[in-house]
Amino acid sequence: MSSGAVLFFLLLVIAVLICIVLCQRFAFHRGTQESLRSISGKLKEINETGSDEKILIFTDNPELKELAAQINAVLEKHQKVKADFRRSETASKKMLSNISHDLKTPMTVILGYLEIMRLNGSDTDNMLSKAELKARNMLELMNEFFTLAKLESGDMDIGLSNVDAAEICRESILDFYEILTGQGFQVDVLLPEEPVYALGDSDSIKRILSNLISNAIRYGYEGKYLGIALRAEEDSVFIDVTDKGKGIDKLFAESVFDRLFTMEDSRSRSVQGNGLGLTIAKSLAGQLGGTLTLESVPYENTTFTLRLRKNFVRFEQEF
């Protein structure tokens, strides 16, 4: 074979190879464009319809696979945000509806007593006492509502300092001494005599414990028992508030901290409830850098545990 023929053959092979490469690149480019158009169209459809679908493409291109995976991750987060917003919106509507009802009821009672007093002027002192009680209940509900609103909006500044958790527990249980003894509760107080320091805010911790003790009296009434215990571990301080009432069913264990959740069959009316106490308590615990958890075995032990960060005393020399 002459050198000219060899050269021609080589050029022909090179030309064929170039054509193959160009065809492959064209097919690849066209396939990529089609996949991108498919992704774009699906995203537009999801955006317009608000569906919870995901992007699904069939390709061997690793870059397109990674792109689809990242888009699906963003869609999943977006869908979760939408679901959370819907739940929050539903809860807010329910809360406003319930609060409207709770405010309307005592106002109706107050106006009724005032109307009776205006008409006949009899039994004035008794009616005034009842009207005052209803007005105070309404004021307490409004205060709880605004406290929760400030906590959830981040408008409540809580200063953290070195506090004696044991002393706060003693003061909190003493605040309920009259109610507890009057209703025949057995009270167990397991607190160390020496100070136990935690990082927190005295007023906030008292508010949490007050809500927990009120809850135990109101819903654990049948057990006639209330216990408060404090223990310190490596880097945390734990406060347990326990009752032996009917407890909380596992179905509702996650709901007890929801706004306006109440157990309808509570029997103790000496402590009023509005369904915001545990929500506020959990929010305050979070603001303090701690947690509030629940463990319940009906008619044995229902325990709310407040965990606070441990703080150590700094001894200063006096000169």
Side chain identity, residue 268: S
124-153 vs 277-287: helix crossing angle, rounded to 10: 40
Contact 289, 204 (CB under 8 A): no
3-state secondary structure of 53: coil
285 CB-near residues (< 8 Å, 6+ apart)? 208, 291, 292, 306, 307
CATH topology of domain 94-153: Helix Hairpins (1.10.287)
Higher pLDDT, 234 or 29: 234
Is pLDDT larger for residue 74 or for residue 273? 74
CA angle 153, 155, 159 (to 5 degrees): 130
Residue 319: pLDDT over 50: no
Domain coordinates in residue numbering, the chain:
3-80, 94-153, 161-310
Half-sphere exposure of 245 (CA within 13 A, CB side): 25
Neighbouring-strand partners of residue 162: 199
pLDDT (tens digit, 9 = 90+) per residue, 231-243? 999 899 999 999 9
Question: What is d(CA 210, CA 4) in angstroms, rounded to the nearest whole number?
Answer: 103
**Residue 4's pLDDT band (boundaries 50, 70, 90)?**
low
Q: At CA 279, angle to CA 275 and CA 280, rounded to 5?
A: 105
Other CB atoms closer than 10 Å to residue 155's CB: what's the count? Answer: 8
* pLDDT over threshold 50, residue 267: no
93/177: higher pLDDT? 177
Task: Give the distance, in angstroms, between the CA of residue 244 and the centroid of all CA atoms in the same chain.
Answer: 25
Residues 76-85, mean pLDDT to the nearest whole number: 78
Q: Side-chain half-sphere of 90: how many Cα atoms within 13 Å?
A: 7
Give the number of other CB atoms < 10 A from CB of residue 224: 15
What would the pLDDT profile of 163-198 be if each residue is shown by its tens digit?
999 999 999 999 998 999 999 999 999 999 999 999
- From the list 72, 34, 30, 33, the residue with the least C-alpha distance to 52 is 72
Is the pTM above the cut of 0.85? no
**Looking at domain 161-310, does it have CATH number 3.40.309.10?**
no
Tell me the pLDDT band of 265, cut-offs 50, 70 and 90. very low
Residues making up the chain, counted from first to last: 319
Tokens of 180: 């507890």
pLDDT higher than 50, residue 318: no
